[in-house]
Chain A
Amino acid sequence: MGRALALPGANPALRNEPKLTVRKGPYTYTVETHEDQSTYSVSDGTRTITVPIHWYFGAGAQTWVLERDGHRYESAVSYYPSIPGLDFTTGDEDLKPRNLDEAIGREIGMPETRVCFGCHASTAVNKGKMTFESLRPGVTCEHCHAGTNTHLADSINDDFDSAPPDLRKRSSEDISNFCGQCHRSWETVVRNHWRGELTVRFQPYRLANSKCFDGGDPRISCIACHDPHVDVVRQDSSYDAKCLACHSPASTAASSAAIVSSISPPHAKSCPTAQSDCVSCHMPKVKLPNGHLTFTDHQIRIVKPGEPFPN
């Protein structure tokens, strides 16, 4: 998560791809990188607009926020490692630029720029005002450990009791909402009437729609399965223990019942089909319609072959 937003000079993906180009309708987009400085150009064959890239978003896929004549744009095309190469920025496929100036990307006003940096960078937004000078790339400690600049010293001394406002002691529902500030909470998605496959990237929403979710049970909180301080674990079997904490077969249930029953409801049913790699079947991977981004469906469930995306 620390790499969510990067400043110039820190972009290994582009360094390895010194010249990227793609044609979209009448426009040709080119992203060139020389010595850690990247530029973004769009051309209609007669005229070309070139702007430097200052802000990179995304650790996997990359979108750029561009500045031209005091206006800011979300780049019309993004870099996708799965291609690898450029294609339309997810969600901007339907933009219909009327001229070269509009072909740069989708103009974003100040409020949108602010929330965009608010989720992707630290200290960029301070009391509601953008402060580019103090912008720090990525989701850094301060984001989750409010006011930690002063406490960083404490943490070095191994004294981090100012960690997220007692997050570990809070309910799974609270933790979902905390992570949901950026990953989108259940209610944000519902309030916006968002539906369909794109909601798969909003894990708090999908998880709460699962029958497994119990906002009062710590075994199903985001931080039961993820340590936000390290990269996500990409090995299916490593999640088995998380599922079995609730879905343990009767035999082990008996032995651990004494410990577990004091904090939680009785154990849930166990699987008639398999004993390991639970997430490989019950948390399927879903590709977004543009085919370049894949997410894990947190709506844990029995997946029936051929069923449409449940939502």
Chain B
Amino acid sequence: MFVVDAVNTGMETVYGRRLGIRGKRHSAFSFTLLILAFTILVFFSRVCSAQANPASFSDVAAKAAAARDANDVPSAIELYQQALKLNSQWSDGWWFLGSLQYSVGDYAAASNALTHYLELTPNAAPALAVRGLCEFENAEYGKSLSDIQRALALGAANQPHNEKILRYHEALLLTRTGRFEDALRSYAFFTHENDANPELLLAIGLAGLRTPLLPKELKADQQELYMNAGNAAFDFMKGDKEAAHLEFQHLFQRVPPVPNAHYLYGFLLYASDPDEAVIEFEKEREANPSNTAAEVMLAWIPLLQNDGSEALPYAQKAAAEDPTLPSAQLVLGRALSETGDTKNGIEHLEKTAQLQPDNLEVHLALAKAYSKSGRKEDARRERLLCLEMTKNDTAPATHP
């Protein structure tokens, strides 16, 4: 099981570093378990499939396994490639090849091998997770996000260490692809930890100030600003609202004004204190009249309070400012259907659902709009979808 360890240590160093987790033994162990369990499974199927194949294939496969056991990664890779030339249907071979290539940082090749593996073994969560991480390194951000999210949905986050790695990458990718609010929600997962490392703060700052970059893509002279914003958001999310308040006040005093700083504070405030949040969004609009995201939030807050007519003008303005912004279409669709124009409302919402099929809010809005207009079957379908989307991370309701 040495090779498995080697594979894991590889992940540990590559991803552990990014998370500020330095090669702790117990965390390496959890990844070991994941791949170990997988390896055992694969081993048994290999015994069966190997027997059915010509001797030369089983020879090479056995040599590959021996090289892997001896921790001779370059030879093992070479031998797995040979064996797979003889039998490209050997799914376990693809898995071993891919994870070995991943362990030596050959991400493009690893991603390719794992794609073969996934064709033969669809929905294998660990393979999706590792392929997603490869795509991340290859800067294929859209694909990476979709693999990592599928892996998470299929239960790849079954151990705390894996969960951290995957959720952190998910949040980075959400930021990189412009889904800043979702990214902030993902980062909230990390605020259970008492101390944050600088890279995490920087990452939160990027999401918070709505900057679609990875931490490593940010110019050095900007890091301090983003770190401060990230720190204020981190403190807020961890529950230290007084510290966060002071940090935000400092942020607001900076010259020139920091775009999206008021937006960020408003966004954090709105769940617990929508009225304060409105004030922050209005300040953002004053400082930055073309900030459509803030206009969207000014529509969103009355929508959540069942006040469609209050929301409608903001929603119309937001959608006119930036017709391509999905959240603007969402608030407009919702505001229209709440104020009686369900036909047009549903049209906007359906369009948004095509753009962002995994956005829960779009489906919540569609369920309501269909239901209002008596489209019982459509409403039911949307409701079941929403329930499916929220079946993980459930929480007990609280109320005296």
Contact = CB atoms under 8 A, between A and B. Distances in A.
Contact of A192 (B273, B383, B395): B395
What's the interface size class on B, roughly? 20 to 34
B374 A208 contact: no
A196 to B, nearest CB: 6
Contact of A215 (B273, B376, B396, B398): B376
Which 10 A-B pairs have CB atoms at the shortest separation, nearest pair first?
Answer: A216-B374, A215-B371, A128-B275, A195-B394, A198-B397, A194-B397, A63-B400, A173-B371, A111-B273, A91-B398
B364 A191 contact: yes
A194 B376 CA distance: 23
15 contacts: A91-B399, A110-B273, A173-B372, A177-B368, A190-B390, A191-B364, A191-B390, A192-B395, A194-B395, A194-B397, A196-B397, A198-B398, A202-B397, A215-B379, A216-B372
A174 interface: yes
Given A214-B374, A215-B376, A193 B395 contact: yes
A193 B393 contact: yes
Contact of B372 (A128, A171, A195, A265): A171
B306 A187 contact: no
A18 B202 CA distance: 58
A189 interface: yes
B400 A215 contact: no
B396 A187 contact: no
A297 interface: no
Contacts of A202: 397
A199 interface: yes
Given A192-B397, A195-B396, A209-B387, 8 more contacts: A111-B272, A112-B272, A173-B372, A193-B390, A196-B397, A198-B397, A201-B399, A217-B374
Contacts of A38: none
Given A214-B374, A216-B374, A187 B400 contact: no
A74 B398 CA distance: 13
Given A196-B397, A198-B396, A190 B306 contact: no
Nearest to A119: B399
Interface in B358-400: 360-361, 364, 367-368, 370-376, 379, 383, 386-387, 390-391, 393-400
Nearest to A188: B304
Interface in A235-292: 265
A59 B46 CA distance: 67
A215 B397 contact: no
Contacts of B360: 190-191
Contacts of B361: 191
Contacts of B275: 128
A63 B400 CA distance: 7
A195 B390 CA distance: 9
Interface in A10-29: none
A250 B371 CA distance: 27
Given A192-B397, A193-B395, A194-B396, A215 B372 contact: yes
Nearest to A63: B400
B364 A187 contact: yes
A109 interface: yes
Interface string A84-122: 000001111000000000000000011110000000000
Interface of B: 272-276, 305-306, 360-361, 364, 367-368, 370-376, 379, 383, 386-387, 390-391, 393-400
A209 B382 CA distance: 11
A55 interface: no
A90 B399 CA distance: 7
Given A177-B306, A208-B383, A209-B383, A189 B397 contact: yes
Interface of A: 57-58, 61, 63, 74, 78, 89-92, 109-112, 128, 171, 173-174, 177-178, 181, 184, 186-187, 189-196, 198-199, 201-202, 208-209, 213-217, 265
Nearest to A192: B395
B368 A214 contact: no
Contacts of B306: 177-178, 181
B391 to A, nearest CB: 8
Contacts of A209: 383, 387
Contact of A195 (B386, B395, B399): B395
Contacts of A111: 272-273, 276
A216 B398 contact: no
B98 to A, nearest CB: 34
B3 to A, nearest CB: 40
B400 A91 contact: yes
Contacts of A173: 368, 371-372
A18 to B, nearest CB: 23
A215 B380 CA distance: 10
A198 B397 CA distance: 6
Contacts of A196: 394, 396-397
Given A91-B400, A201-B399, A208-B383, A174 B272 contact: no
A187 B368 contact: yes
B373 to A, nearest CB: 6
Given A187-B368, A216-B372, A216-B374, A57 B400 contact: yes
Contacts of A265: 376
A112 B398 CA distance: 13
Contacts of A191: 360-361, 364, 390
* Residue among A112, A174, A193, A208 with the highest chain B CB neighbour number at 10 A: A193
B388 to A, nearest CB: 11
Contacts of A58: 400
* Residue among B375, B393, B395 with the highest chain A CB neighbour number at 10 A: B395
A198 B395 CA distance: 10
A198 B394 CA distance: 12
